[in-house]
């Protein structure tokens, strides 16, 4: 098979085409004369009609925009070669961690290389080939139905599984008979942000009432309820177990202890954390007990043993801690420290493996893991090879555990681990044909932001790369919602690395890298810190001699799409290419769609106060596009028709405004995918198509031609 030589050739033709592109002709977008008033300040919203994603005029505009984008991308001479190489890089066997479930069998997700969705296998041993238990590729012809979760009954007889169609957040629940493999008649619709918590011959789940026809993917979601479904009955017979009619915008997620004695409901949506309620299922007509009413802290029950709840929390511990509580008196006043807050690292996960605990910490955005006794005494650290990310699969009744370790240049390696002996052994690893991870290096640097705060950043690149100011840089960030960007592997990213690019992943404020204080420093009226942190990352790469503004491409998705849109407006001179993906672009109206209201604890809303509205308006990507001839980078926006997390109206209005503005001759395209959503569960064929478009656009507009041989 042909492949791309991993080198960079600057071709005069490509460079000329990138520097002297004629301005494209874009379709006229549906518009009107809408003007909103925010505390006496009038703000025009001329492309308001694009918020109606099912209107004929919007659909026609989408079709016309996609034609412009496809025509542009198809004329990039190396586009098809890039797609071929991406397919080669993705075509390797992928095997997840085995998980031992209640039927004493091991379940493992596998993908033979280019299957659109991972297949779930069942075997008698952790390293066995096993048999197919559930293949989501058979649920649709095009791979757009994704398996999003499996939940086995405690007696091992049934498995409830959740699916998503076309990338939507809407969830459907089905039930398998584990012995026969047959799907039962039970079918739950309009569930969202839920699993299935089994009790007896049924399960608890969370769902909304059926939405208005035609507005399933845009209207605000209200009144999330917890239901109980009894096997063999229709959904219409399901009983409401928990709801809060006074708080229509709260989420209610449900769990249950392994012995089915205690039902747990976590409420969210109003703060940075969650409320917590429990109910004794052993006593008929028992009342709900409030553990914590506020949503100011993260609070979750990781296990219940011997009448005690084991709770993972940020309450009175911004870097998180483990506590215990008597199930009969579970309120915060009665909590006892099990593993106190570590002042040097953030506790990010805790789980039982037999009678011991495995704790995972973040230190400078990289994972470290430790074994503790059940009374909170440290036993040992689990040794890891380099910067990376961990995930564990444990059995609460056995010392047998498994963990997955991945880095920027190596796919997941799976290890078996015995928490009693400390013995760790490699169960399986993966080698990619034509790619040697030893040819690359990852280093971590710390650079000053505008206010002097030190920001960590990972740099991954080919060994021997010179600091000559001529290296292309792919700068990625997120900076929000207490989410930490840990080292991660992407086969698609290898295309960038093997062609001499530097991948820079920066850990901005707003994330969870250093606990709640780091998170809050990038929220509400501190949000500019996030943008300044990102801009400073680009300036650092230039000042340190790695690159120059003509070779920097920036990318981010969702909240990261907001980031890319905002910094492009702030410093259009600093970047050559910008890829805002499924971004939150209209900060004045984001809270009015689907679950946008749930982001208010990070952003604030335009309805909060004159000061908050003014602050949002000052950085909102949609409202700050320059229109005075200031040259902007080449921009390609991405979104999808089934994105009901960040509705496509954000990207639609941003694209229409950008294309109508005077921002120079660089392309301003929008790529609108069909039968796709915010990103989760996207079939591999669509992922490869998308990255072929993204990398082609980036390379072409940087004046770089990855030469095919």
Task: List residues with catalytic annotation.
Answer: 558, 678
Distant-in-sequence, close-in-space partners of 294: CB < 8 Å, separation ≥ 6? 271, 273, 275
Q: 688 - beta bridge partners?
A: none
Tell which residue, 583, 594, 596, has the closest CA to residue 556.
583
Q: Is 141 exposed, middle or buried (0-12, 13-18, 19+ CB in 10 A)?
A: exposed
* Long-range pairs of 338-341 with CB within 8 A, sequence gap ≥ 24: 338/310, 338/375, 338/376, 339/372, 339/376, 341/317
Gap between the Cα atoms of 22 and 469, Å rounded: 28
Between strands 473-476 and 454-462, the pairing is unpaired
**Which SS3 state, helix, strand or coil, does residue 491 take?**
helix
Beta partners for residue 441, in sequence order: 461
Contacts of 688 (CB under 8 A, 6+ apart): 83, 86, 87, 90, 492
Strand 346-353 to 336-339 pairing? unpaired
Give the other-Cβ count within 10 Å of 344's Cβ.
Answer: 9
DSSP 8-class letter at 138: G
Q: Which helix (DSSP H) or strand (DSSP E) does residue 600 occupy?
A: helix 600-603
Residue 65 three-state SS: helix
Residue 142 Cα distances to 62, 152, 162, 546, 696, angstroms: 22, 27, 18, 42, 24
**Using a CB cutoff of 8 Å and minimum separation of 24, what contacts does 426-430 make?**
427/98, 427/126, 427/127, 427/402, 428/95, 428/127, 430/92, 430/93, 430/94, 430/95
The continuous run of DSSP H or E covering 454 comes out as strand 454-462
Backbone dihedral angles phi then psi of residue 24, each to the nearest 5 degrees: -75, 160
Residues 6+ apart with CB under 8 A from 74: none
Which token pair is 327? 């199930």
Q: Which residues are within 8 A (CB) of 649 and not within 5 positions of it... i.e. 6 or more apart? A: 50, 51, 53, 218, 586, 593
Length of the chain: 709
The 10 Å Cβ neighbour count of residue 677 is 28
Nearest residue to 14 (alpha-carbon basis) of 709, 707, 708, 701: 701
- Signed CA dihedral, 567, 570, 573, 577: sign only: positive
Q: Give the pair of three-digit tokens for residue 346.
A: 């953030």
Q: Which of 446, 513, 504, 445 is nearest to 480 (CA)?
A: 513
């Amino acid at each position: 098979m042909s492949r791309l030589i991993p080198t960079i050739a600057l071709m005069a033709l490509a460079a000329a085409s990138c520097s002297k592109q004629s301005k494209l002709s874009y379709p006229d977008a549906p518009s009107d004369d809408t003007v909103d008033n925010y505390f006496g300040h009038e703000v025009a919203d001329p492309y308001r009609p694009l918020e109606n994603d099912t209107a004929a005029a919007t659909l026609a505009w989408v079709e016309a925009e996609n034609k412009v984008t496809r025509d542009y991308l198809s004329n990039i001479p190396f586009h098809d070669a890039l797609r071929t190489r991406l397919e080669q890089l993705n075509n390797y066997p992928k095997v997840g961690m085995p998980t031992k479930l209640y039927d004493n069998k091991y379940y493992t997700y596998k993908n033979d290389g280019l299957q659109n969705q991972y297949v779930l296998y069942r075997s008698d041993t952790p390293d066995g080939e096993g048999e197919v238990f559930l293949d989501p590729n058979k649920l649709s012809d095009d791979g757009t139905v994704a398996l999003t979760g499996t939940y086995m009954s405690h007696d091992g007889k049934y498995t409830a599984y959740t699916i998503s169609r076309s990338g939507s957040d809407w969830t459907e629940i089905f039930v398998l008979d584990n012995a026969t493999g047959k799907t039962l008649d039970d079918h739950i619709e309009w569930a969202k942000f839920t699993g299935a918590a089994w009790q007896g011959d049924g399960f608890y789940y969370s769902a909304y009432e059926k939405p208005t026809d035609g507005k399933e993917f845009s209207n605000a979601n209200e009144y999330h309820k917890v239901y109980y479904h009894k096997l063999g009955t229709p959904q219409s017979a399901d009983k409401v177990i928990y709801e809060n009619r006074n708080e229509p915008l709260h989420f209610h997620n449900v769990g249950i202890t392994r012995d089915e004695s205690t039902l747990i409901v976590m409420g969210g949506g109003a703060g940075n954390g969650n409320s917590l309620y429990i109910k004794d299922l052993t006593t008929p007509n028992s009342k709900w007990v409030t553990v914590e009413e506020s949503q100011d802290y993260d609070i979750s029950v990781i296990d219940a043993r011997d009448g005690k709840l084991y709770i993972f929390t940020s309450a009175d511990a911004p870097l998180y801690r483990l506590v215990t509580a008597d199930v009969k008196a579970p309120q915060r006043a009665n909590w006892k420290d099990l593993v106190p807050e570590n002042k040097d690292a953030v506790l990010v996960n805790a789980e039982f493996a037999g009678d011991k605990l495995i704790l995972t910490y973040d230190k400078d955005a990289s994972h470290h893991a430790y074994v503790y006794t059940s009374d909170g005494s440290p036993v040992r650290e689990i040794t890891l090879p380099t910067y990376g990310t961990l995930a564990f699969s444990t059995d609460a009744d056995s010392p047998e555990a498994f963990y997955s370790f991945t880095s920027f240049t190596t796919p997941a390696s799976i290890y078996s681990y015995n928490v009693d002996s400390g013995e760790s052994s490699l169960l399986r690893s993966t080698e990619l044909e034509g790619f040697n991870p030893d040819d690359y290096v990852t280093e971590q640097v710390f650079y000053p932001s505008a206010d002097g705060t030190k920001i960590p950043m990972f740099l991954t690149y080919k060994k021997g790369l010179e600091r000559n100011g001529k290296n292309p840089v792919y700068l990625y960030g997120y900076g929000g919602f207490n989410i930490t960007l840990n080292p991660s592997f992407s086969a698609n990213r290898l295309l960038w690395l093997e062609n001499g690019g530097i991948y820079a992943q920066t850990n901005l404020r707003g994330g969870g890298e250093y606990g709640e204080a780091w998170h809050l420093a990038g929220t509400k009226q501190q949000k500019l810190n996030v943008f300044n942190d990102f801009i400073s990352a680009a300036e650092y790469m230039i000042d340190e001699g790695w690159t120059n503004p003509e070779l920097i491409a920036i990318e981010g998705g969702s909240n990261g799409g907001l980031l890319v849109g905002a910094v492009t407006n702030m410093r259009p001179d600093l970047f050559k290419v910008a890829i805002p993906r499924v971004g939150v672009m209209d900060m004045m109206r984001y809270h009015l769609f689907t679950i946008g209201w749930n982001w208010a604890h990070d952003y604030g809303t335009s309805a909060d106060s004159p000061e908050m509205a003014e602050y949002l308006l000052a950085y909102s990507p949609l409202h700050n596009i320059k229109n005075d001839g200031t040259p902007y980078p080449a921009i390609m926006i991405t979104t999808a028709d089934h994105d009901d997390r960040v509705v496509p109206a954000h990207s639609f209005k941003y694209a229409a405004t950008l294309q109508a503005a005077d921002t120079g001759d660089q392309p301003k395209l929008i790529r609108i995918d069909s039968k796709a959503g915010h990103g989760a569960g996207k079939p591999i064929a669509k992922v490869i198509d998308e990255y072929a478009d993204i990398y082609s656009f980036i390379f072409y507009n940087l004046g770089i031609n990855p030469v095919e041989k």
